[in-house]
Amino acid sequence: MAALAVENTVRYFYDYTQSGFSHTLLIRGTTGATDASVDAALATLLGDIGSLFVGSVITAARKAEKDSIFSFPFASDRISDEFGSGASNSIANPRQVSFVGRSPTGRRVRFSIFGFAGNLTDYRITTAESAAVLAAVNHLNAFGTEFCAIDGQTASWQGYANVGLNDYWVRQSRAG
């Protein structure tokens, strides 16, 4: 399968912080996605899974149009939204939760958030184990124009969320 250009779809970037660490959420949209629909989809998803994370706040929102390598701020209702609770620490900082799916043509899509506050068991949370993951997967599969794959097609999301450690953020947490 040939690689597609990163700018093959419209991209929404939501910057967020947790305990001084800055991260960015990436959401790809189809040509039918609007700023308001992506904002609403993100609010729904964070409402589903926010309880799994340490306290975080969205600080900025940017958008890159299809076929553009540049992103620009846009007026998002999500700026200053908070999700999660509790203080972060060097254990939670590098933990990420990733939802994965595939488009009908087999293109992978991933949506990841840092700051997982739960315990690591087998590095996967299934929809049978967590009502929050079940709600998130159901919503990801229901979104029509938001959270698509790089080919611009609606994805079918797996019935689980992967939990992992990011090496870069492990090093940052160790450095203090």
Sequence-distant (6+) residues with CB within 8 A of 176 are none
Q: What is the pLDDT of residue 160?
A: 97
Q: What is the pLDDT of residue 165?
A: 86
Q: What's the pTM value of the predicted model, to 2 decimals?
A: 0.93
Asked, for residue 4, whether it belongs to a domain, the answer is no
Q: What is the pLDDT of residue 143?
A: 94
The rounded distance, in Å, linking the Cα atoms of 93 and 176 is 11
Based on the structure, what is the number of domains in the chain?
A: 1
Task: Tell me the one-letter amino acid at 32.
Answer: G
Mean pLDDT of successive 10-residue stretches along the chain, which has 176 residues: 92 93 94 94 96 94 97 97 87 88 96 88 91 97 94 96 86 75
Q: What is the pLDDT of residue 108?
A: 94
The residue segments making up the domain with residue 70 are 9-175
Q: Are 157 and 164 in contact (CB under 8 A)?
A: no
Q: What is the pLDDT of residue 176?
A: 64
Asked, for residue 2, whether it belongs to a domain, the answer is no
Total residues found in the chain within this entry = 176
Asked, for residue 84, whether it belongs to a domain, the answer is yes
Asked, for residue 1, whether it belongs to a domain, the answer is no
